[in-house]
Structure 1
Amino acid sequence: MVSKVVFGRGCFNQLGDILSPKRLNTKAPFIYIVDDVFQGNSWLTSRIPLFYEDKIYYISADQEPKTSQVDELVEEIILTYKDLPSGIIGIGGGTILDLAKAVSIMLTNDGEAKEYQGWDLVKHPAIYHVGVPTISGTGAEVSRTTVLTGPEKKLGINSDYTPFDQVILDPELTKDVPKDQWFYTGMDCYIHCIESLTGTYLNAFSKTYGEKAYELCKELFLDNNLSDEEAQDKLMMASWHGGMSIAYSQVGVAHAMSYGLSYLLGTKHGIGNCIVFNHLEEFYPDGVALFKKMKAKHDIKLPQGLCANLTDKEFDIMIDVALSLEPLWENALGKHWRKTISRDKLKELYLKM
């Protein structure tokens, strides 16, 4: 679990005070991995405390993070500095936060990032790393995984060394998120809740967090009486609680299938989950009905026909990726999930998207 958290509007201004005691020496920089949407945005970037050899890497979040991207960043950092960095700070949405977690791990572990896609493969603690979410919903700020697309699969580096050492939750940083992106990442949180609360891995810990996140999502996406600031605060806490819920349980069908879409087509995680979940009444009837109500209320039009012209080989690639995520299927359908899920069943579902 994340050991240190600050929350509150404007708490991003505490970043310098938080980092100062963690600086190893003047030659060991803090490396900031920042969503490039903020490049030239002095409202945020002027508040990043840069000293000595500290550096900002502006990274596009237009595509899902890749293992090769992690390896390139790690190599550049190692070749640029004599000492390991004092810390890695990710400022952005789920893509940027996952990159920051992965880079902090790979700076202290040999080999390539693709070798660590899986559960508990990391041998050495990551360097100090901090997460500053600027979009709410993915739960990346609290999860023990960093989801990466590799040459053969899309799968997280799941380990006890993955979670951030420090998270700064400043709802003010989410004020300029576009409406569609706000909805897609918010629904990622909502789908976390549905998959966790209906899963076979459910326990009292995950249920407590999942129920709170679920109630916050209903209030956020169906209540007309919230101010912008209240909505920002609540979605940030819904994201946190949703991430905590799946930390002690697991996600399910929507996430497994959206990984297939993402791997083959590059579909971003939030919208991919929405596209898949929209067709999962068979598995989550109440959850999908409420999702469609939220979608209609906010006038969200999901892309259609993504899989209309795919070849059999391309369908096989997506299905292979989805089926490889066995813990997700077991959580959704139990130990005998293979009796319910076949390759033909998955192709039938993908054809609806």
Structure 2
Amino acid sequence: MVSKVVFGRGSFNQLEEILLLKRLNVNAPFIFLVDEVFQGNDKITSRIPLAYEDEVIFISAKEEPKTCQVDALVEYIILKFKDRPSGIIGIGGGTLLDLSKAVSIMLTNEGEAQDYQGWDLVKNPAIYHVGIPTISGTGAEVSRTAVLTGPEKKLGINSDYTPFDQVVLDPELIDNVPTPQWFFTGMDCYIHCIESLNGTYLNAFSQSYGEKALELCREVFLGDHLNTQAAQDKLMMASWHGGMSIAYSQVGIAHAMSYGLSYLLGTKHGIGNCIVFDRLEEFYPEGVKEFKAMKSKFNIDLPQGLCKDLSDKEFNIMIDVALSMVPLWENALGKNWNKTITREKLRSIYEIM
């Protein structure tokens, strides 16, 4: 679990004080991985506390994070700086946060990022790393996984060394997020809750966090305060609680199938979850009904016909990726999940997307 958390409007301004005691020496920089959408935006960039050899690297979040991207960043850092960095600070949405977690791990572990896609494969603790979300919903700021697309699969680096050492939750940073992005990322949190609370892995820990996150999601997405300060505060805490709800449980069918979409088609995670979840009435009837109400309230039109022109080979690639997510299927349907979920069943669902 994340050991230190700061929450509050304007808390980003505490970053300099937070990092001061963590600097190893003047030759050991802090590396800030920042969503390129903030390049030239003084709201963020002018407040980053740079000193000595510190560096800001702007990264596009238009595509899902990749293992090769992690490897390239690690190589750049190792070759450029004399000393190992004092820390990695990720500023952005789930893509930047997952990249930051993965880079911090790969600076202390040999090999390539793809070698660590799976559960508890990381041997050495990561370097100090800080997460600062600028959009809420993914739960990446609190989760023990860094989800990456590799050459053969989309799967997280899941380990006890993955979570951030420090998180700064400043609701001011999610102000002015475009409504579609606000919705799709927020629905990632909502779907976390539905899948966790309806899963076979459910326990008192995950239930307590999941129920609170679900309550906050309903207030934000069925209430009357779109992107107000109250909604920003609540969505940021819903994301945190939603991420915590799966710390001792798992997500489910929507996430497993969206990984297939993302791996083959590059569909962004939040949108992919919505596209899949919209078709899962058979498995989550009440959740899908409520999701459709939220979609209607926000006038959201989901992409249609993503799979209509796919070949048999492409369908099989998606199905292989989805079926590889065994813990997700077990959580959703139990140990005998493969009696319900066949390749034919998955293809029939993908075909209507």
Q: TM-score, normalised by structure 1?
A: 0.99
Letter in 1 for 2:54: D
> In 2 relative to 1, CA 225–102 (structure 1 residues): closer, same or farther, beyond 3 Å?
closer
Q: Tell whether 2:308 aligns with 1:305.
A: no
Secondary structure of residue in 2 paired with 1:330: helix
Could you tell me which residue of structure 2 aligns to residue 278 of structure 1?
Answer: 278
Could you tell me which residue of structure 2 aligns to residue 72 of structure 1?
Answer: 72
RMSD: 0.6
In 2: Cα distance, 1:163 partner to 1:97 partner = 10
Could you tell me which residue of structure 1 aligns to residue 151 of structure 2?
Answer: 151
Could you tell me which residue of structure 2 aligns to residue 179 of structure 1?
Answer: 179
1:225: how far off? 4.7
**CA deviation vs aligned residue, 1:248-274 (integer Å, no higher than 9, x gap):** 100000000000000000000000000
**CA deviation vs aligned residue, 1:37-95 (integer Å, no higher than 9, x gap):** 00000121100000000000000000000000000000000000111000000000000
In 1: Cα distance, 2:2 partner to 2:227 partner = 29
User: Residue 225 of structure 2 contacts residue 231 of structure 2 at CA under 8 Å; is this kept in 1?
Assistant: no
Letter in 1 for 2:233: D
Secondary structure of residue in 2 paired with 1:173: helix
Could you tell me which residue of structure 1 aligns to residue 261 of structure 2?
Answer: 261
Secondary structure of residue in 2 paired with 1:168: strand
In the alignment of these two chains, the number of paired residues is 353
Alignment of 1:71-90 (within 5 A): 71-90=71-90
In 2: Cα distance, 1:352 partner to 1:210 partner = 30
Q: Tell whether 2:13 aligns with 1:13.
A: yes
Alignment of 1:53-68 (within 5 A): 53-68=53-68
In 1: Cα distance, 2:16 partner to 2:211 partner = 35
1:176: how far off? 1.8
Unaligned runs of 5+ residues in structure 1 are none
Secondary structure of residue in 1 paired with 2:78: helix
User: Residue 252 of structure 2 contacts residue 329 of structure 2 at CA under 8 Å; is this kept in 1?
Assistant: yes
Alignment of 1:1-353 (within 5 A): 1-225=1-225, 228-353=228-353
Identity of aligned residues (%): 77
Secondary structure of residue in 2 paired with 1:148: strand
In 2: Cα distance, 1:224 partner to 1:28 partner = 48
Letter in 2 for 1:52: Y
Q: Where in structure 1 do 4 or more consecutive aligned residues deviate above 3 Å?
A: none
**CA deviation vs aligned residue, 1:10-46 (integer Å, no higher than 9, x gap):** 0000000000000000000000000000000012110
Letter in 2 for 1:193: C
Secondary structure of residue in 2 paired with 1:257: helix
